[in-house]
Amino acid sequence: MSQNNTHRAVGRAVTPVGIAGRALRGTGGAAVLGTVVLGSTLLAGPAQAAPAALPAAPTVTAQAAAPATPAPAHATSALGAEKLRWGSQGSAVEQLQTALNEHGASLSVDGKFGRLTHGAVKDFQRSHDLKIDGVVGPQTRGALNGGGASISTGGTSAPAPAHSATNSQQAIVDAARSQVGVSYSWGTSKPGVSFDCSGLSSYAYAQAGIDLPRTSSQQVAAGTTISKSEAQPGDLVVWPGHLGIYAGGNTVIDAGNSKGSVSERTIWGSPTFVTFR
């Protein structure tokens, strides 16, 4: 009887393993043996090390970044050789306005060369002892660009040629002269049909690429008053309530109510002169 008990005792010595095996199989990954919890790693064999962490992404340093394109020192360096005047438009005028602002002006950079830009150019010319004409030619451009006030031709300093301005002025006179004989009618600007005085001047200036205000009082206010000795063909000849286009030689082309048409005639009285050059 004691031998049988001994045999059973021996059998019981291996029984916990069998029980544990069945318990583990029954639970599919964990079993409780007494108060000890056996994790799923006991079923899978020896514990496996956690996978190594992924390598950190390379750090982008300031040296690896693409170098930024350097900005120009200032906008005046972009001013080209184009002559700019009242009525000019586009990127060249924007560059001009930016350059003038760098010299103390307060212009909207809108690419339109109008009254304010014209005045700012003349202020700049006055302060730099340049010819005060409101036109940005080589001399004014050179001063804006930080260079001298003259251009170089074969190593000899020479003033800027005036033929471009002359061509523009002549275009104004030619446009006005082409309408001689057209009827006068107040408040109109119809080529070949009828004009009033400011309608004729705004039309003639437009043919030279210059945009004038519509009424005579606005045109006078927008320009620069000069003496008769300074007047050149294409400038305005102004009387109270009336104006015409100076044609040179003491003559004016105007759309006059007294004549009833556009005519070219001798200047009368004591008018003033206004320029947009």
**Claim to verify: residue 257 and residue 173 sit in the same structural domain:** yes
Stated as kind and residue range, the H or E segment containing 7 is helix 2-27
pLDDT of 144 higher than 60:
yes
pLDDT of 52 higher than 90:
no
Residue range 237-268, pLDDT digits in tens: 999 999 999 999 999 999 999 889 999 999 99
How many domains does the chain contain in total?
Answer: 3
Domain that holds residue 239: 163-275
**Claim to verify: residue 22 and residue 101 sit in the same structural domain:** no
**pLDDT for res 272:** 96
**Claim to verify: residue 124 and residue 189 sit in the same structural domain:** no
**Claim to verify: residue 182 and residue 250 sit in the same structural domain:** yes
**Claim to verify: residue 36 and residue 97 sit in the same structural domain:** no
**Claim to verify: residue 238 and residue 200 sit in the same structural domain:** yes
Residue range 77-91, pLDDT digits in tens: 446 567 898 888 899
* Contact between 199 and 189 (Cβ < 8 Å): yes
For 193, how many CA atoms within 13 A lie in the half-sphere containing its CB?
7
Q: Does 229 fall in a domain?
A: yes
**Claim to verify: residue 126 and residue 224 sit in the same structural domain:** no
pLDDT of 191 higher than 70:
yes
Q: What is the domain-level CATH number for residue 125? A: 1.10.101.10
What is the average pLDDT score of the chain?
Answer: 74
**pLDDT for res 212:** 93
**Separation CA 261–CA 139 (nearest Å):** 41
Mean pLDDT of 3-14: 45
* Contact between 236 and 219 (Cβ < 8 Å): yes
Q: What is the domain-level CATH number for residue 271? A: 3.90.1720.10
Mean pLDDT of 223-227: 94
**Claim to verify: residue 214 and residue 266 sit in the same structural domain:** yes
**pTM of the predicted model as reported, rounded to 2 decimal places:** 0.46
Q: Does 13 fall in a domain?
A: yes
